[in-house]
Amino acid sequence: MNAVDLLIEDHERLKDILTRLTESTERAVKTRTELLHKLEMEVTIHTQLEEQVLYPAYKEAGGKEELKMYHEAKEEHRAVDSLVLPDLKATDPASVEFSGRAKVCKELLEHHLEEEESDMFPEVREMFDQARLEEMGRQMAELRTRLKKELGARQAA
């Protein structure tokens, strides 16, 4: 699978988790906790795939506009990883506050995913030939497998 298709699959998975999370009620504490756990794992893995494989290649192959988009995308990752998700994790899943924070998290992530799909990914498809896209996809698939094992081991400990 090529890198862009793999990342779009990730986006669909993230959107599904976010929709289920924001549609849950204050009474669905167990569901919210499980979905938040899944969301954190998927976001962590997805961020690493982009930042270790796609973004560096995109930055190197692109010009000034691509450099701006690279930094904006990294900053959006940082905002979600360092601010939004930690706040959401620290919020009681049985609270209305959780609902509000989950909705903001969904809006931020959906904005980021949409920007990548409409702006960055079409450029990536033009910048790299099919062989290079397939190679990046293979690297991402290997990295995903390794990260899932690492994250699973950390959570089991």
Contact yes or no for 22/99 (Cβ under 8 A):
yes
The answer, yes or no, to whether residue 14 has pLDDT greater than 70, is yes
Q: For 15-24, what is each residue's pLDDT tens digit? A: 999 999 999 9
| Number of separate domains in the chain | 1
Task: Please compute the mean of the pLDDT values over residues 26-30 and round it to a whole number.
Answer: 94
**Whether the predicted pLDDT of 11 surpasses 80:** yes
Taking residues 11-34, report their average pLDDT.
96
Range of the domain at 97: 3-156
Q: What does the pLDDT average to over 121-130?
A: 97
Task: Tell me the average pLDDT of the chain.
Answer: 94
Other CB atoms within a 10 A radius of the CB of residue 10 amount to: 20
- Residue 157, pLDDT score: 59
For the cut 90, the answer to whether the pLDDT of residue 74 exceeds it is yes
Stretch 6-22: mean pLDDT: 97
